[in-house]
Each structure stands twice: as C-alpha cells, then as structure tokens.
Structure 1
Amino acid sequence: MSEPGFYIDIFLQPGEFYFGDRETRIRTILGSCVSITMWHPKKHIGGMCHYMLPKNKRPGHHNELDGKYAEDTMHLFLQEIKKSHTSAHDYEVKIFGGGNQFPGQDKRVFSVSEQNVEIGRDLLEHYGFKIKSEHLGGNGHRNIMFDLWSGDVWVKHVEKVME
C-alpha cells in the first residue's frame, strides 16, 4: 500500500506506547531499550512500544500500566487487541533494540539490554505471538520507523565502536 497523502507522525520517547490506524507512522530511537511493533495486515492497525526495563518492581504498580516496563507494554498491546476485536495470531510482530551502549565493559553482569531482549521474546511467545522479524543486540543504537498503512518497518543501526 502506498503512503497516504496525509499521515500522523508519532515519535515515541522511552516508556511510551502508541496504537493507531492506517494513517500513522511511528518512530523512535533505541539504545538498550526494546521496541515491539504489531501490525494487523487486514485492518491496517497496530502499534509500537518503547520499553526501558523488563519488570516493574514498585509496590502497588498493578494499579496502572507503565510503558517503561516490558510486562506492562504487553498488557497495553493486549488491551488494544481486545478493543479492536482481533487476536494475537492476527498480527505481524517484529522486535528491535537491546543494543549494548557500553561495549568493552565487563560482561559478567547480565546487562539490561540482554534482559530486555530476553523478556520481550518470552512475553511474545507466552501470549501466542509469532515473531516475523527481529533486529536485536549488538552495539550501538537504532532508528526505527513503522508505517501502519503498509506494515513496513525500517531500521537504521548505528554501530558503536569499542573504545
């Protein structure tokens, strides 16, 4: 499908989530954070998250979902899927990010970027989503652009060289 004559351009900051329709482009920049894109090829709806951490460990956090956390963003997606009367297996799912921002540092500690990647994959599998494409790990950051009219996702990976 070609680009519409007019579209809404959404830029996600860390911790933000957006779900919209065919007249939307969603963009973000990722370091150790992870974005998941979901697109419904028949309805041309979908969304993207930009989570920073795997789990929300704050007391009382179950009262409100927070897009900073992978577990919460999955529930945000599930709410939107339910509202749109679709199901998980209807969506094309892609996952990006989890880049190491400090190459050359001691890797004995399981890094946040690796935890973000692992929980993203685990949550998607747990809720019945199939990953169509991924671009994860490595060093540096990524620019992501997702067009809801076509389902296309563009990734520009900027490698960070070890110093």
Structure 2
Amino acid sequence: MTLQIDIFLQPGEVYFGDRETRIRTLLGSCIAVTWWHPTRQVGGMCHYLLPQRSQSQQLNMSNLDGRYAEEAFLLAMHYIQTTGTLPADYQVKMFGGGHVLIADVGKTLAVGERNIEFGKKWLAGHGFRVSREHVAGHGHRHIVFDVATGDVWVRFSPQHEGVPSSKP
C-alpha cells in the first residue's frame, strides 16, 4: 500500500480519511483526539484549542467551529454517522493538554487541564471510550496518526516547569 494523503492538521481542524491517509499535528495546551475503525480502516483526528465557546449559541452543522472541543466532536460525530458506524466501534486516543505558557504554571485549572477534562467527559457521555492517552505535563507533542493501522506516534518535547519553551 502506498500512502497517498498526508495531512497536517491546523488548530481548529477536523479531518477523516481512509487507510491511505496519515494525519499529523503539533500540540501544546491543545488536544488532539483520534478515532479509528479497525474493520473499515477509516479514522480521523481533531485538534481543538478550548473546551467551549464563551457565549452559548445554538449549534448546527453550518456554524460549527473546530477550535472548540464540543464543536469539533460534533463534526467528528457527523462523519461517523455518515459511515453508518457506531461510536463504540472506534478506538479513541487523546493527546496534548500540556502546560506550555508561564501563565499556566501554578493555576488551579490551566487551559490544557480544562481541555482534557471536558474532552474525556464529552467522549464518555457520547459512547466513546478513550483507550490510550498521552496528556498533561510540560511541553509540546508532535502527533502522527496512520489510518491504515490505527497507530499513533507521539514525540514529546518536555520543558522544565516554569521555563519557557524558547529563549528570547
């Protein structure tokens, strides 16, 4: 099999593909969730920045914004429903939610932690079970998801607590 599609997922994007697809992204406090259907060899990934919008508004398919977990998950659910598969059929993995900003250090519930908490609750409440995760900590993650096999590779670049990830 030859890989034909190599996608780099930007923050706020959701992408699903078949076994000829590889999806990559780079995470800090953001979260990436992968869904993989082992029988059909289809799957996808989302990359969200925040749990929800600050203002509540009526959500529908025409105004969903993948920068927010709830809406990224609804976009993923739409794809899953169009394939005629069930949430329980998917292997789900979660990555990211790290502390990467000095402002996050010492806060009671930093952005990354809120992203992790919201994502786990929403997924569980909609019939998904997270089978693997690499979340929290201090640093960045590079994620590569191979839809043919369901394998996800994580390269974690740790940083010391309270130390910025780059020098001025």
**The two structures share one fold, judged by TM-score above 0.5:** yes
Within a 5 Å distance, the mapping from 1:34-53 to structure 2 comes to 34-53=31-50
Which secondary structure state, in structure 2, belongs to the residue aligned with residue 32 of structure 1?
A: coil
Verify the 8 A CA contact 2:104 2:111 in the aligned structure 1: no
Deviation sequence 1:65-94 (CA, Å, 0-9, x none): 110000001111110110000000000000
Question: Considering only aligned residues, what root-mean-square deviation do their CA atoms show, in Å?
Answer: 1.5
Residue 158 of structure 1 is matched in structure 2 by: 157
Unaligned 5+ runs, structure 2: 164-168
Deviation at 1:6, TM superposition (A): 3.2
Cα drift, residue 59 of structure 1:
5.5
Aligned match for 1:21, one of 15, 18, 22 = 18
Q: How do 1:94-105 and structure 2 match up within 5 A?
A: 94-102=93-101
Distance 1:161 1:82, change over 3 A: same
Residues 84-107 of structure 1: CA distance to partner in whole angstroms, max 9, x if unpaired?
000000000000000000358652
Identity among equivalent positions (%) equals 47
- 2:166 aligns with none
1:62 aligns with 2:59: yes
| TM-score, length basis structure 1 | 0.92
Question: 2:51, 2:115 within 8 Å by CA — same for their partners in 1?
Answer: yes
Partner of 1:144: 143
Asked if the contact 2:49/2:68 (under 8 Å) is kept, the reply is yes
Aligned residues: 160
Secondary structure of the structure 2 residue equivalent to 1:89: helix
Deviation sequence 1:18-53 (CA, Å, 0-9, x none): 011111000000000000000000000010000000
Cα distance in 2 for residues equivalent to 1:112 and 1:131? 20
Unaligned runs of 5+ in 1: none
Distance 1:101 1:80, change over 3 A: same
Q: Contact 1:103–1:161 at 8 Å: present in 2 too? A: no
Normalised by the length of structure 2, the TM-score is 0.90
Please tell me the residue identity of whatever aligns with 1:28.
T
Q: 2:115 and 2:56 mapped to 1: Cα distance? A: 21
